[in-house]
Structure 1
Amino acid sequence: MAHSDFAKDNLTTGAVLVAAAVVLMVTLAIFSGVLQADFVMWDDDLLITGNHNLTDNSIWWVFTDVDSMQRYNPLTFLAWSITYHLTGFDPCWFHFGNWLLHGLSAVLLYLVLRDLLIIAAHKNLLVRFTSFSRELAAGAGALLWALHPLRVEPVAWATDRTYCQAMFFLIGALLFYVKAHDISPRKYRLFMLLSLFCYICSLLSYPLGITFFVVFLLLDIFLLRRAEFFCPATRYAALKEALREKLIFVLPAVAFAAVAVLVRYHSNAIWDPPVPLSQFGLIDRIMQSFYVWSYYLWKPFYPVKLAPIYTALLSFDPYSPPFELGVALIVGVSALCFFLRKRWPFLFGVWLCYLVLQVPFLGIFEHPHFPVDRYSLLSSLCFSVLASVVLVRLVAMLSPLPVFGGMSIVLVLFAWLSFKQVMVWKNSETLFTHTIQTLGDDPYRVQIMGRLATYYYQIGQTERAIETLKTLLNVKPTSYKANNQLASIYCAKGQFAAALPHYEKMLNQDPDNPQAHYDYGVALRKLDRTAEAEQQFRLAQSFGK
């Protein structure tokens, strides 16, 4: 283990604190709109406001009751439970947690990038640069990650506390790990334990960092260069020692991966079970993985038309051009980085980190899979690392003013896009309306229109709910759920004649449904069509046996 890897810092601690405060305040300011946001009918109603466990006075349920979890994330449910007992179901305070955690994560990332740049300079992996340019590069890299529009979903969506909380602890684990290798052996153990503690807390919040221990190994090889990894004489011994050290991270990762699989199968009452290989073949899974890898490679450079759902992977041809291009892009970049590994080993290491960090989000066991914005939260750290490195190299070649001026323009653009996107998550109406517009003619838009109609009805805007359902049925007249919703609303309004055509459409689709026959009979009886009503009741009874 190497010590004293950090170069002498000619900036005071106060200057570093000021830079960290700037990163924090800018991030919180851009995302401050989430504090006025409501809960949305996008799992908030299932996992938060509709979760009766949150009102329980016991805390043990968060570790044992997994029926409402899609993954095992007890620390997030514990945080929600504490928030409820302190403030009730006030959406401001549930959003406050996401907001604050994201700001603090940005600060931790700034500190990580700062330390990585210092190590890289000491290892002669970068050209010489000033402390001032280093701090600006680290701060810009952290803000590039924090202010990016793809961050809006996990910050503005109350349910995504899982990601914000897990990310905070994960970046903390990375910070402690990096610092552990530049201090005395006595403190090394302390910082490694702190890193392990943060890693376990991250996994308990949400297992997005299942593969993160590999990043520690790649840091050893490509940045820390412990025990001369690139020396043939010591390579095997160094790798063996590094792997032994990683066991303290591997064991909890494997354990939590196993628990996540068990919980995934156990929570079928709320979530669809994983699809077997017979329904979603191996080739489909491989091509989907390459698509996801390539998607999060180019999407950060084109963060527009963002929505809580994208439908490219609902049903797809694995040999269609988008998927073949995805394979070509990933294979091509991998080959290029491998070819340049001796000249730019750091670039090769960052690329490997990107591939590893994206593995939990490839949807290997999921179909349909949705490449949503929050899945970029972890792998986008790689872009921030590269951005910081590129900035200090450009400053060494050019004047700092145009370099950081150009970066400032990018950050302002991202901040503006994020600020506008936060408004999309203000409530269910703004979210669903935006999503419908974004989906355009996509058939999946009828699902969102149904949610919007339900939202209107729940807040007492019955006429808007009816109009939304009528628009939905113009798009998809055979929608059983929409016909059922509209019929129920008409019956609640006492307009039983208007409900009859919708019950008839339901029975044309599902003639053996006892509930549809019974509801149809009730509407007929209200219209004094007694004989027809009795016939429907008999059918309901016969099909209900």
Structure 2
Amino acid sequence: MREKLPFFALVIASCVITILAQDKWHALAKGNEWPLSYRMANALTSYLRYAGKLFWPSDLAAFYPFPPTAPWDLAVVAGAVVLVLSAGIVWWRKSQPFLFTGWFWFFGTLVPVIGLVQVGGQSLADRYLYIPSIGFFVAAVWLSAGWITRLQRCGWMASVLALGILGACVGLSARQIATWKNSRTLFEQANRVTTGNFVALNTLGELARRDGQPEQARSSISVRR
């Protein structure tokens, strides 16, 4: 443990520098804009939303706005699911240690970006999932290896399942890549899959203005945050 202390010091220093830099550029949210209770509710629901987007990456957006009110009904459900899941994984940690490592890697590495200290105006961001997703992938690999070992006589089933998952991922990736064709397609997708997306609407309005479409521009930017 002692040899890891320098790494903890680097983490703390990085956090302090990030907060100071974001505050200097007025990107750090103030308490009167999003109260702590609101951020806590969003953080709890975000854990399940991140997990869902990892396993089935659909309805992705360049920007996810906050809901107009704190989603406490969903937050209670999400909190209960996270608590029960964490307790179960701790209970089975000796027989399934990879689940323990994978889940708490995911849970722990999301803490700095889950929104308790809010930076920016997004409720969550796909890019924040890059490092936390490693935990789930580690757990999935070891879990799959165990299943394949037990089903050696049915190896073809594992192959069919793997090909099916791969095919679904290819299809989802192809559809998502198409949304990055240009700024218009990107923010049309964001506006389509979210509600009250002021960033997407303002961007679409500006693009319409540049294209000489004042009525469409006015229609887009008239929606306020």
Among candidates 249, 261, 277, match of residue 7 of structure 2? 249
Among candidates 76, 81, 100, match of residue 324 of structure 1? 76
Asked if 1:443 corresponds to 2:201, the answer is no
Among candidates 148, 153, 163, match of residue 408 of structure 1? 163
Shift of 1:342: 2.8
Q: Distance in 2 between matches of 1:421 and 1:281?
A: 34
What residue identity is the alignment partner of 1:290?
A: L
1:193-236 deviations in whole A, cap 9, x for unaligned? Answer: xxxxxxxxxxxxxxxxxxxxxxxxxxxxxxxxxxxxxxxxxxxx
Q: Does the 8 Å contact 1:449/1:468 carry over to 2?
A: no
Asked if 1:380 corresponds to 2:133, the answer is yes
Structure 1: unaligned runs, 5 residues or longer: 1-242, 480-545
Q: Distance in 2 between matches of 1:337 and 1:428?
A: 42
Q: Does the 8 Å contact 1:285/1:364 carry over to 2?
A: yes
What residue identity is the alignment partner of 1:347?
A: L
Among candidates 104, 110, 114, match of residue 352 of structure 1? 104
Asked if 1:427 corresponds to 2:182, the answer is yes
Question: Matched residue of 1:422: which SS?
Answer: helix
Superposition RMSD on alpha carbons, in Å? 2.3
Using structure 1 for the length normalisation, give the TM-score: 0.38
Question: Matched residue of 1:325: which SS?
Answer: helix
Shift of 1:287: 2.5
The equivalent of 2:46 in structure 1 is: 292
The equivalent of 1:303 in structure 2 is: 57
What residue identity is the alignment partner of 1:296?
A: Y
Aligned length: 221
Q: Distance in 1 between matches of 2:63 and 2:128?
A: 12
Shift of 1:438: 2.3
What residue identity is the alignment partner of 2:140?
A: A
Do the aligned partners of residues 283 and 435 (structure 1) sit closer, same or farther apart at CA in structure 2, a change above 3 Å counting?
closer
Q: Does the 8 Å contact 1:341/1:348 carry over to 2?
A: yes
Do the aligned partners of residues 438 and 298 (structure 1) sit closer, same or farther apart at CA in structure 2, a change above 3 Å counting?
closer
Do the aligned partners of residues 334 and 426 (structure 1) sit closer, same or farther apart at CA in structure 2, a change above 3 Å counting?
same
Shift of 1:455: 2.0
The equivalent of 1:466 in structure 2 is: 214
Asked if 1:266 corresponds to 2:24, the answer is yes
What residue identity is the alignment partner of 1:261?
A: I
- Note the 1:45-194 alignment, pairs <5 A: none
Question: Matched residue of 1:426: which SS?
Answer: coil
Do the aligned partners of residues 279 and 455 (structure 1) sit closer, same or farther apart at CA in structure 2, a change above 3 Å counting?
closer
Q: Distance in 2 between matches of 1:409 and 1:316?
A: 39
Q: Does the 8 Å contact 1:289/1:363 carry over to 2?
A: yes
Q: Distance in 1 between matches of 2:30 and 2:131?
A: 25
Structure 2: unaligned runs, 5 residues or longer: none
Larger radius of gyration: 1
Question: Matched residue of 1:437: which SS?
Answer: helix
1:428-467 deviations in whole A, cap 9, x for unaligned? Answer: 111122223223xx3335x423312322443xx21xx323
Using structure 2 for the length normalisation, give the TM-score: 0.86
Q: Does the 8 Å contact 1:354/1:382 carry over to 2?
A: yes
Shift of 1:427: 0.9
Q: Distance in 1 between matches of 2:206 and 2:94?
A: 58
Q: Distance in 1 between matches of 2:79 and 2:219?
A: 39
Do the aligned partners of residues 438 and 295 (structure 1) sit closer, same or farther apart at CA in structure 2, a change above 3 Å counting?
closer
Q: Does the 8 Å contact 1:292/1:371 carry over to 2?
A: yes
Q: Distance in 1 between matches of 2:41 and 2:204?
A: 33
Q: Does the 8 Å contact 1:295/1:326 carry over to 2?
A: no
Shift of 1:416: 1.7
1:124-163 deviations in whole A, cap 9, x for unaligned? Answer: xxxxxxxxxxxxxxxxxxxxxxxxxxxxxxxxxxxxxxxx
What residue identity is the alignment partner of 2:214?
A: I
Do the aligned partners of residues 389 and 432 (structure 1) sit closer, same or farther apart at CA in structure 2, a change above 3 Å counting?
same
What residue identity is the alignment partner of 2:139?
A: L
Do the aligned partners of residues 448 and 323 (structure 1) sit closer, same or farther apart at CA in structure 2, a change above 3 Å counting?
same
Asked if 1:390 corresponds to 2:143, the answer is yes
Q: Does the 8 Å contact 2:63/2:125 carry over to 1?
A: yes
Q: Distance in 1 between matches of 2:184 and 2:41?
A: 35
Shift of 1:318: 4.7
Question: Matched residue of 2:161: which SS?
Answer: helix
Q: Distance in 1 between matches of 2:176 and 2:158?
A: 27
Runs ≥4 residues deviating over 6 A: none
1:33-77 deviations in whole A, cap 9, x for unaligned? Answer: xxxxxxxxxxxxxxxxxxxxxxxxxxxxxxxxxxxxxxxxxxxxx
Do the aligned partners of residues 386 and 404 (structure 1) sit closer, same or farther apart at CA in structure 2, a change above 3 Å counting?
farther
Do the aligned partners of residues 449 and 345 (structure 1) sit closer, same or farther apart at CA in structure 2, a change above 3 Å counting?
closer
What residue identity is the alignment partner of 1:425?
A: W
Q: Distance in 2 between matches of 1:349 and 1:338?
A: 10
1:394-435 deviations in whole A, cap 9, x for unaligned? Answer: 221113332132112111211221122111111111112222
